Amino acid sequence: MRKFALAIFVCAFLSCENQSSGDNDSDMSLSDSLLSEVLAGHDVAMPKMAKLNRLLKQAQSEYDSLKNLPRTEVHKKRMALLDSTIKDLNYADAAMNEWMDGFKYDSLKNDETQRQAYLRVQLTSVNKMKDVVLSSIAKADSVLSSK
């Protein structure tokens, strides 16, 4: 019951706060929109991280198995392809972690102009990270399904 009362209080408080900031509604909505886009980019990539890690283990396992076999030209090419795939997956993992470590959700709350600029930079960053994650997974899927 207390949680319900607290939720109502928070909603009422936020409603009053939004009404009192009449002049800044357009600034706030742009900032909110940018934040929403940034979080949406993260929300596309984050659920893929378990698959990325699974593919990384699979690629590393195959690479390690090939190291113990005679070095034929076919094995060398496969190992090079796996090595490239492993590097791409590791880079994507690092990109996700770096972006998450650097992103400050509440950054510049008191300066809408600066917050919007920050969120625009973060939108570019999160989209690059998302593209790296998705492309590395697509490459790994392709490489590992073509044994």
Give the domain ranges of the chain: 25-145
Selection from 122, 140, 11 nearest residue 84 by Cα: 140
Q: Which pLDDT does position 10 carry in this prediction?
A: 31
Contact between 45 and 96 (Cβ < 8 Å): yes
- Mean pLDDT, contiguous 10-residue spans, the chain (147 residues): 33 41 53 93 97 98 91 91 98 97 86 91 97 98 89
The angle subtended at Cα 48 by Cα 141 and Cα 89, nearest 5°, is 55
The amino acid at 87: K
Q: How many residues does the chain have?
A: 147
Q: Which pLDDT does position 126 carry in this prediction?
A: 97
